[in-house]
Amino acid sequence: MRLEDSNNKEGSEEEEQNAFEELAGGRSADKDDNQDDKLELFQLKEDLRKARDSADDSLNKLKYMIADFDNYRKQTEKQVSSKIEASKAELLLKFLNIRDDYLRALDMIKNEKPDVVIIEGLQGILKNFDNLLSSEGVIEIESVGTPFDPNIHDAFNFRYSDRYPENTVANEIRKGYMYNNKVLRPSLVEITKKIVKNTINATETLEKDSDT
């Protein structure tokens, strides 16, 4: 073999070795790059999951805050409405007391037998007064002839009566009123009691009558 051919052969083998090493190194580099890409993708997915969990947690907290605020708003509105109704009821009760005074004054004027026009005018004012109360939801309590109810009646006195059953309202001394299904002012009433007859005395009287 000539020296030139030997040198060419060795050079070729060396080139092949270098090419193999470069190829192997390239494959190793590609493998490392692929591994890095996988790690980066995993990290991105993990970051995305944490961000999603954080967003869900923030959203739930926001929902709870909105619900708490809504409950607080409703409770506040209810308290304000209740205070307004209480103040309105107090004012209407004062109107009722004025109405009572007006009725007493009207009765006194009627006893003086004034001109009919004056009475009609005063009664017209009373009617306007009652229309105002009615428009505000004030309703009279029907009492006479109904069973006594301590929730809407105040017992002022009692009377013996055969006309009504026992514990029935026989007379209304002062009108009672309801407002928004609540008692604005209870009726001041007289209630009935049964007449208890003395049967012994009645029997003795009958015997004496029969003897005679």
CATH node for 140-212? 2.30.22.10
Question: Residue 143: exposed, middle, or buried by beta-carbon count in 10 A (0-12, 13-18, 19+)?
Answer: buried
Per-domain residue ranges of the chain: 64-136, 140-212
Strand order, beta sheet including 182-185: 138-140, 177-179, 182-185
Q: Between β-strands 187-193 and 153-160, what pairing exists: parallel, antiparallel or unpaired? A: parallel
**pLDDT at position 12:** 60
- Tell me how far apart the alpha carbons of residues 36 and 154 are, in angstroms, rounded to a whole number: 91
pLDDT in tens, 159-202: 887 788 899 999 999 999 999 889 999 999 999 987 766 555 54
> Which amino acid appears at position 107 of this protein?
D
Helix (H) or strand (E) holding 145: none
pLDDT in tens, 113-157: 878 888 889 999 999 989 999 999 999 999 999 999 999 999 999
